[in-house]
Chains A and B, each alone.
Chain A
Amino acid sequence: EDKVVQSPLSLVVHEGDTVTLNCSYEVTNFRSLLWYKQEKKAPTFLFMLTSSGIEKKSGRLSSILDKKELSSILNITATQTGDSAIYLCAVEYGNKLVFGAGTILRVKS
Chain B
Amino acid sequence: NAGVTQTPKFQVLKTGQSMTLQCAQDMNHNSMYWYRQDPGMGLRLIYYSASEGTTDKGEVPNGYNVSRLNKREFSLRLESAAPSQTSVYFCASSERRQTHNEKLFFGSGTQLSVL
Contact = CB atoms under 8 A, between A and B. Distances in A.
Are A and B genuine complex partners?
yes
Interface of A: 4, 9, 31-32, 34, 36, 41-45, 48, 88, 90, 92, 95, 97-102
Q: Interface residues of A: mostly helix, strand, loop or mixed?
A: strand
A9 to B, nearest CB: 8
Contact of B109 (A42, A48, A90, A100): A42
Interface of B: 4, 40-45, 59, 90, 100-109
B63 to A, nearest CB: 20
Nearest to A41: B108
15 contacts: A9-B40, A31-B100, A32-B100, A32-B101, A42-B106, A42-B107, A42-B109, A43-B43, A44-B106, A45-B104, A45-B105, A48-B103, A99-B43, A99-B44, A101-B40
B108 A34 contact: no
A92 B109 contact: no
Q: Interface residues of B: mostly helix, strand, loop or mixed?
A: loop
Contact of B42 (A42, A48, A100): A100
B102 A90 contact: yes
Given A34-B102, A34-B103, A97 B109 contact: no
A99 B104 CA distance: 12
A92 B102 contact: yes
Contacts of A100: 42
B49 to A, nearest CB: 14
Nearest to A43: B106
> 9 tightest A-B contacts by CB?
A99-B42, A42-B106, A99-B43, A41-B108, A101-B42, A92-B102, A97-B102, A42-B108, A41-B109
A42 B41 CA distance: 16
Given A45-B104, A90-B102, 8 more contacts: A4-B42, A32-B101, A34-B103, A42-B106, A42-B108, A43-B43, A43-B104, A101-B42
